[in-house]
Structure formats: structure tokens, C-alpha cells
Amino acid sequence: MPVTTALYGSRPEKIKALLDDIEQSFELDEEALKTITGQFLADFNLGLSEYGQAMAMIPTFVTGVPNGTETGTFLALDLGGTNLRVCQVDLFGDQTFNLKQQKYKVSEQLKTGEATVLFDYLADSVDAFLTSSAGSPTNPHTPGELGQDPPALPLGLTFSFPVEQTALDQGYLLTWTKGFAAKNAVGKDVVKLLQDAFDRKHLHVKCVALVNDTVGALLSRAYTSGGCILGAIFGTGTNGAYVEQVANITKLGNHPIVAKGGEMIVNTEWGGFNNSRTALPTTPFDNKLDRESINPHYQAFEKFISGMYLGEITRNILLSLIDAAPIPILFKGKASDQLNKHYGLDTEMLSLIETAWMSEDAPADTAAAHAPLVPSDAAAPVAHVEKIDDSLLLDFSKPLVAAALTPLTLHRLQRIRTVLVSQLGYAAEDVTLRDAAVVRWACSLVVRRAARLSSCAVATVAHQMGFVAGLGSDAKPVGDTDVKIGVDGSLIQHYPRFEARMRESLRILVGANVEQRIEIGLAKDGSGVGAALSALQATKQGAL
């Protein structure tokens, strides 16, 4: 942790120095962005040439990108985000689809117990879904005409973990991520683990294709919008899959697919970028997170970026300010039970804080505006208080009192206070306006860094695919085609200004021309639709 001991004491300028230090350690200037992206490009090429690299650059054997004319009805099973989902997807062939889905919880016990138990649960969920849609053509228990067995229902599996794929319907788990650690799965073929579970339960379902969620995002965005070169997830985890020339995937060696040439989607597994952390701007808050995580030294990039971790990094910052000695900087040194708990601060709370801070509501109209102030916030006599600018909210040389704030700023801080009370378990009287301002500052540092790092990954793909040459002030656009990206995940979808922040640094890295050509669109239901599209490809290739 940064020095928050007696050395710093309680003097305002010392507090300022401490906060400035923290802020500085989260800053990424043009040079840093370029260095990280340069390293990213080098690691892309290393992963394309050798197996066993941290950024695995996995060939997916998906060689075509849909154009929206695909048709059929498929089952999809999606494991790897917050929930497990089973879906039935109808592709209508006119860039539209219908998706019926059911979500199931995956308990901590399932995540960390025996893999067969987890896969049995997946099979049970598919069974429950199909039973609840009894009478539909996909019911596995419907007998065939004249007593014949109907053909097995084709299912596409979206499995959002690093899997070394050897065929469209075969892939070996390299490692678990995002808090999963089920035993006896690493090194095994996940399609077989699932199929064995279906067979144990006599389910007439056949897993014909395996895709990563990023591949699903790419395929589904291509289906609905007529093209896509990168599928990216910024959610619980982060990763990207893009379209690469087969000739560049030199580690494929003499594989028969190489002779056919053309393109193949590569699942980068960029969450594992720079596990050595030589390029990533690691702070003590990140080190604490990594040390206490289920997979220390792995998924370094993901731990700077994704929804699973941003709340925890912020919690580490807040705790260091609460623990500052001899005088605490935050919450008068008091941590709520929630804040004391590992992963007790959810990234969603960061999102609520930012939303509160950006609120443009008329201050007087909201409940937050009428919330009573903490006595110290109301203390100074109104007439003698000079108004202060928002940039001075962390100026500890003056008390931060309500009367010094514009009505809008006061209202925003009050709203943040409401969030802290409802989400973090603080009593209203424990949260001063200053506390609200400090928490907002910490959240914005963590998320801004995440968005800027995300732009390095996107810039790398733009570079690798030849849309831009050079980086930073040397960046030169190549060609003039649109760069279509399909995205999914809670951060990019719901976090206020995540995309805008990402674009700010993309502009620095690839120049305004290329940044404007980058079209970022939601890969709606990407995991379900993507799995259906790959199941379609598999059935066409005769895997059934």
C-alpha cells in the first residue's frame, strides 16, 4: 500500500501529496499507451507463432463470418459470465433472430467443486429448459414418428474460458478464470465433458460446436449488421477475437487447414496479456488484488479491466485511505462490514456512483437533496462561505461545507452519499460530502485506467489487421473502410462513459481518422446467437 502512515501525518498538503501520488500511479499518458500497445502487438505475434503463450491467440477453426442470411433453430448453452444460460435461437436469415432463454445460477460450490458435478448441472439445466418448452420441436423427450429416434438436437456451447481448440467441436481447457476453479477439468476436452453429462442423463442432445463468447459476439454482430472484424467482451472478464489471415497463424504448421488459406477467427485471450506486468502500470492496490486472488500471476490484463475486479481495486484504495494514520482520510477511519469483505464492493456500485455524479436532475426535486447533512458539512455560517470549484473538492486545506458548493454539485454528492449508505452499509451520519467526493475520485481513477487500457487492445487489433500504421503521433490511416466491432458485457453496455473514455485514448493511439471509422455496436445476445451460428456451421460441415 502507498505510504499512509505517520510519515504523511494529517497536514492538508501531505494528504494532497498522497492523493496526487495515487492519481499519478493510475495515469497513462501517450508514451505509456504506446508502450503497452507495442508490447501487445509483439505478444500477438508471439502467440500466433508458438503454443503455450500467456496470450494464447487460439485458432478457432471458424473460417467464415456470417452475412445475415443464415437460417435454422439451434440450442445454445452459455457458461462463463455471471449466469449460466440455456437458449433456443431461431435464425430467420434476414439478419434477425428470436431468442428464448432461461438463466440459472452457478453457485460458488459448483464453480470450485468437481468438474463432473458442474457439467451434470449444465446438462440438468438444458433438460429443465427443454422440459419447460415441452411441445416445442426441440423437446428431447418427444418420440420420433414410427418409433424412430428423432435426430439429436444440435447444441452450440459458448464456453468463455481459455480453451485450446483443435476442431470446431473439440477443445481443451487451458485454465479457469473469473473465479472458477472446478477440479479435474483443466487439460480436458470440454465438449466431451458436456457430452458425457448429456449421455449420463440420456438427453438426446449433441454438442456440435464450441465457441468463446468473443467469437460469439463477432459472429452475432456480423449476422445482424452484415460484417464485423472484432468481437470484444468488457464484462465480468475481458477478451477479444478477431479475423486473422491463416498464413499469419504460423503455429498451425502443416495443419490441413493451412493449405486452404483465407481467414480464421482467432481468440486472443487478451486477459492474459503481460502476466509478467513489465508493461502494465501496476499499483500496490493491484498487487494486493492479485495476491489475494484465486489465480495469482494470471490474467493480469483482465485484473486491470474487467467488472470482476474494478470494485475490488477501488475497495483497496478506499481501505488504504480509511487506514491512513495518524488521521484517517476517509469515513473517519471507519470501514463498514461490507467494505471489509473481500470483493465486498461490487463494480456495479462504481457505476451507480458515476451515474450519481453525472446526474443533471434538478437538485431540489430529488430525495437526496433533502437528506440531512452531516453536522460538519453544514457547520459554517452560510454568509461567509466562498463558493468553490469542483476541482477543489479534494482540497483538504479548507473544510468542505454544503454552502460552498453549487446546488448541482451538492446534489450530486448527496446522491453519492445515498449510494454509499444503501450499497456499502454506512449510516448516513458516517458519510460526509468530502467522503462522497473522495470515493467518486477513486472510482473514476480505476475506471478511466480500465477504459484506456481497453483502447490498447482495440488499437492492437486495428494495427494487426492493417487499418492503421504507426502509433500515437506517428499513426497513419490505411484504407478507408469501416472497422466494425461487436461488443458485449456489463461495463461497455452499462458503465457511464466507458466507451467515450475508451475512444479518447483510441484517438491518441490510432489518430482521429481511424478512431472515427471504428464502429462499436452491441452484439446483442452474442453468446446465444454466436453459438447457434457456429452450430449451423458445424451441421453444414457434417459434424452431426
The catalytic site residues sit at 178, 213
- CA–CA distance, 322 with 319 (Å, rounded to integer): 5
Q: How far is the CB of 217 from ligand BGC (least distance, A)?
A: 9
- CA–CA distance, 362 with 316 (Å, rounded to integer): 34
Give 162 or 227: the residue with its C-beta nearer to ligand BGC: 162
Burial of 359-380, coded b for 16+ CB within 10 Å and e otherwise, reads beeebeeeebeeeebbeebeeb
Give 492 or 506: the residue with its C-beta nearer to ligand BGC: 492
**Cα angle value 368/373/378 (rounded, 5°):** 135
Q: Write phi, then psi, for 95 (nearest 5 degrees).
A: 70, 5
Q: Could you tell me the three cell numbers for 272?
A: 492474459
- CA–CA distance, 170 with 164 (Å, rounded to integer): 9
Paired residues of 108 in beta bridges: none
* Count of beta carbons in the 10 Å neighbourhood of residue 17: 13
Give 303 or 448: the residue with its C-beta nearer to ligand BGC: 303
- CA–CA distance, 443 with 346 (Å, rounded to integer): 11
Give 212 or 220: the residue with its C-beta nearer to ligand BGC: 212
Query: Which single residue brings its beta carbon nearest to ligand BGC?
Result: 237
Q: In terms of Cα–Cα distance, which of 232, 65, 225, 66 is closest to 160?
A: 232
Is 450:305 a contact under the CB 8 Å cutoff?
Answer: yes
- CA–CA distance, 504 with 322 (Å, rounded to integer): 32
Q: How far is the CB of 269 from ligand BGC (least distance, A)?
A: 6
Q: How far is the CB of 473 from ligand BGC (least distance, A)?
A: 32
Give 138 or 267: the residue with its C-beta nearer to ligand BGC: 267
Q: How far is the CB of 372 from ligand BGC (least distance, A)?
A: 43
Peptide bond into 326 cis (omega under 30): yes
Q: How far is the CB of 242 from ligand BGC (least distance, A)?
A: 13
Q: How far is the CB of 158 from ligand BGC (least distance, A)?
A: 9
Give 219 or 468: the residue with its C-beta nearer to ligand BGC: 219
Checking 355-363 for CB contacts under 8 A at 24+ apart, the result is 355/496, 356/412, 356/415, 356/416, 356/418, 356/419, 357/412, 357/415, 357/416, 357/440, 357/444, 358/412, 358/496, 358/497, 359/411, 359/412, 359/415, 360/408, 361/411, 363/407, 363/408, 363/410, 363/411
Is 413:390 a contact under the CB 8 Å cutoff?
Answer: no
Give 297 or 540: the residue with its C-beta nearer to ligand BGC: 297
Q: How far is the CB of 301 from ligand BGC (least distance, A)?
A: 10
Unique residue bearing C-alpha cell 457439467: 119
Give 104 or 441: the residue with its C-beta nearer to ligand BGC: 104
- CA–CA distance, 77 with 109 (Å, rounded to integer): 20
Give 130 or 211: the residue with its C-beta nearer to ligand BGC: 211
Q: Residue 422 contacts by C-beta under 8 Å, 6 or more apart in sequence?
A: none
Contacting residues toward ligand BGC, per CB under 6 A: 80, 160-162, 177-178, 212-214, 233, 235, 237-239, 269, 271, 302
Q: How far is the CB of 402 from ligand BGC (least distance, A)?
A: 43
First to last CA, the chain: 56
Residue 113 is given by DSSP the state S
Q: Could you tell me the three cell numbers for 148?
A: 424412430
* Count of beta carbons in the 10 Å neighbourhood of residue 266: 28
The beta strands (E) that lie in 141-284 are given as 153-159, 163-167, 170-173, 205-211, 230-234, 238-245, 263-267
Q: How far is the CB of 60 from ligand BGC (least distance, A)?
A: 11
Q: Write phi, then psi, for 535 (nearest 5 degrees).
A: -65, -35
Q: How far is the CB of 347 from ligand BGC (least distance, A)?
A: 14
Alpha helices in 425-497, H assignment, sequence order: 433-464, 490-494
Unique residue bearing C-alpha cell 482521429: 512
Give 300 or 324: the residue with its C-beta nearer to ligand BGC: 300
